[in-house]
Amino acid sequence: MYYQPKTDLLNNRIIMVTGAGAGIGRQAALTYASYGATLVLLGRTEEKLRRVSREITHAGGAEPLVLVLDLQSSVEADYRRLAEQLSERLPRLDGLLNNAGLLGEIVPMARQTPSVWRQVMDVNINGTFMLTQALLPLLLRAPHPSLVFSSSSVGREGRANWGAYSVSKFATEGMMQVLADEYPAQVLRVNCINPGGTRTGMRADAFPDEDSMKLKTPADIMPIYLFLMGDDSKRKTGVSYDAQPGRKAGPAQ
């Protein structure tokens, strides 16, 4: 996607990125900060989040808020508490990028381990749902809030061996569509991004034999992440976007 945003696209915006310590989430956080946003960095590994926070401030960005939360083990009360704490510290949330994700096992359905299946659902769906639900009131305080979910090509068409991950991404698309149907775009817009094969740790786990140098980097795919957080997408809702339109799913060619 070609998109050239204005340099002040996200001035005065408060944006939360989940899974902000590595991969696409880290890059999205750095990119949003460079366009003027104040970040809330959420993830399960404090050290990684602190590192990203330092990168942002060293580059001249506003000091982020760091929140350590494990989407796999947290329960409803944890999300409620987190939302209460945030609403005491923040006037609103202009954007939420639900990016954290777990791959699980790439094996046929017959061999998917039920406990791993459950972990993938807990991170990709249940935790993401509870976090989003808890943060809705804070999002709805913003004039043009944007909620973005992270999908995948296997969330649109099932593929052998992608088991829990694929099913969770179908559910992600469903969660986006349900929410998009519940709010008019001007009140809350809700969209998905399918990053397409991108050079990260998760991708290397999924395709260990692939030449990663043939993949786009997280920085390469940032245009759609910016578009959906800024006012240029104000009227867009219920859409599942490809960060790399036209890219054929599967290993890098």
DSSP 203: H
* Helical residues (DSSP H) of the chain, grouped into ranges: 23-34, 46-58, 76-89, 114-121, 128-139, 163-182, 201-206, 222-229
The residue among 91 and 201 lying less far from ligand NDP, judged by its C-beta, is 201
When CB distances to ligand NDP are compared, the closest residue is: 23
Task: Tell me how far, at minimum, the Cβ of 88 lies from ligand NDP, in Å.
Answer: 22
Residue 142 φ then ψ, to 5°: -80, 150
Q: Which residues pair with 246 in a beta bridge?
A: none
Task: Tell me how far, at minimum, the Cβ of 180 lies from ligand NDP, in Å.
Answer: 18
Catalytic residue among 35, 165, 225, 241: 165
Residue 119's contacts (CB-CB under 8 Å, 6 or more residues apart) are 72, 102, 104
Task: Tell me how far, at minimum, the Cβ of 90 lies from ligand NDP, in Å.
Answer: 20
The residue among 23 and 95 lying less far from ligand NDP, judged by its C-beta, is 23
Return the structure tokens found at 84: 């209460």
The residue among 14 and 102 lying less far from ligand NDP, judged by its C-beta, is 102
Task: Tell me how far, at minimum, the Cβ of 199 lies from ligand NDP, in Å.
Answer: 7
Q: Round to whole Å and give the CA distance between 46 and 235.
A: 36
**From residue 206, how far is each of 39, 66, 198, 202, 218 by CA, in Å?**
29, 29, 11, 6, 16
Residues contributing to the site for ligand NDP (CB under 6 A)? 19, 21-25, 43-45, 48, 70-72, 99-102, 123, 150, 152, 195, 197-198, 200-203
Q: Is 79 a catalytic residue?
A: no
DSSP 198: B
The residue among 44 and 189 lying less far from ligand NDP, judged by its C-beta, is 44
Q: Active-site residue numbers?
A: 165
